[in-house]
Amino acid sequence: MSDLVTGDPARDAVARRVTELVRLVPDYPQPGVLFRDITPLLADARAFADVVAAMASVAGQVDLVAGMEARGFLLAGPVATALGAGLVPVRKAGKLPGPTASATYALEYGEAEIEIHPATITPGARVLVVDDVLATGGTAAATVGLLRSCGADVVGLSFLVELAGLGGRAHLPGLSVDTVLTVD
Ligand SMILES: O=P(O)(O)OC[C@H]1O[C@H](OP(=O)(O)OP(=O)(O)O)[C@H](O)[C@@H]1O
Ligand SMILES: Nc1ncnc2[nH]cnc12
């Protein structure tokens, strides 16, 4: 199932472009995974601008946008600029000089650890979390937990593509979760 009908024609048109421009790669990076490759979308100037605008439109006033390494960075930076907000890079372990705060989590294809600089988060800062794909929700849930442990007020999450069949939303209870395109 593709959720291409939101009732907003402009938003539906952006969702259709995402369907057209996100390449499906079977068995990558391991057998059984249908990988969503966003590079054709990023290379299309109009589509890139439209998805950034759509992803930013879900939030009101925010202080910071948190983006997950690596593909999340590509969307979170422009979304932060569009919202007049700062950027918090959520990095894979070992990439940030200390002091850092960290969390471990499970992926659709493996396990990972993420880190942030807690000093960049003022207590009560309103933070929007941005990433390309919501799959099992492990990355997003770990990011929310990490941000909250640093005093952030996570006001919502904005994704390009949600793989609804993997049930990621269930790991984000009580949070506003928006996606440009939802697929099974
Ligand atoms: O909902 P989940 O099951 O946690 O999966 C989603 C995450 O997986 C991908 O990142 P990945 O760790 O593959 O890193 P990359 O962006 O560096 O390719 C994607 O960009 C999300 O961050
Ligand atoms: N199927 C998938 N395609 C792209 N990124 C992902 N992250 C987790 N699962 C993914």
Say what percent of the chain tops pLDDT 70.
Answer: 96
* pLDDT above 60: residue 76: yes
Say what percent of the chain tops pLDDT 90.
Answer: 91
For residue 131, count other CB atoms closer than 10 A to its CB.
Answer: 26
Is the preceding omega at residue 118 within 30 degrees of 0, hence cis?
Answer: no
Strand pairing partners for 23?
37
108 in catalytic set:
yes
CATH number at residue 112: 3.40.50.2020
**Looking at residue 108, what is its pLDDT?**
64
Cβ pair 62, 155 in contact under 8 A: yes
* pLDDT above 90: residue 114: yes
Cβ pair 181, 3 in contact under 8 A: yes
* pLDDT above 50: residue 73: yes
* pLDDT above 50: residue 3: no
Considering the chain, what is the average pLDDT of its residues? Answer: 95
Q: Residue 1 — pLDDT band, cuts 50, 70, 90?
A: very low
Cβ pair 150, 118 in contact under 8 A: yes
Structural domains of the chain, count: 1
How remote is the C-alpha of 60 from its chain's centroid? Answer: 17
Strand pairing partners for 64?
86, 127
Ligand located closest to 68 CA? 1
User: Which atom of ligand 2 lies at the shortest distance from residue 25's CA?
Assistant: 3
69 in catalytic set:
no
* pLDDT above 80: residue 110: no
Of 101, 153, 164, 103, the C-alpha closest to 129 is 153
Its domain, for residue 95, covers 2-183
Pocket of ligand 2 (CB under 6 A): 33-36, 108, 133, 135, 163
Cβ pair 103, 146 in contact under 8 A: yes
Query: From the candidates 17, 36, 71, 91, which is the catalytic residue?
Result: 71
What is the per-residue DSSP string for 5-44? --S-HHHHHHHHHHHHHSEEEET-SSTT-EEEE-HHHHT-
